[in-house]
Amino acid sequence: MDWRSLIEYYYAHQGAINGAAIGLVAAITILIFGFIKVFFIALCVGIGYYIGKSISDDRHFLKNLKDKIFPPGMYK
């Protein structure tokens, strides 16, 4: 099997190969670190992604969030 046919096979089954690789990495990290630690890391990554995407979509996201959390006049 040469490289060209291997690359064609990858592009034909890209979703399945990527899913299997992600599953393998997730399984290894859970076996090494434990479920709770891996879940905490995934939760932090998800929250970071959400905040980063919100900031890139809306430049005033942090100011609007601060206005929602703290009452007016509490900060300068």
CB 43 within 8 A of CB 37: no
What does the pLDDT look like over 65-76, one tens digit per residue?
788 888 776 655
- For the chain, what are the domain ranges? 1-33, 34-76
What gap in Å lies between CA 43 and CA 31, rounded to an integer?
A: 18
pTM, rounded to two decimals: 0.60
| pLDDT band (50, 70, 90) for residue 27 | very high
What does the pLDDT look like over 28-43, one tens digit per residue?
999 999 999 999 999 9
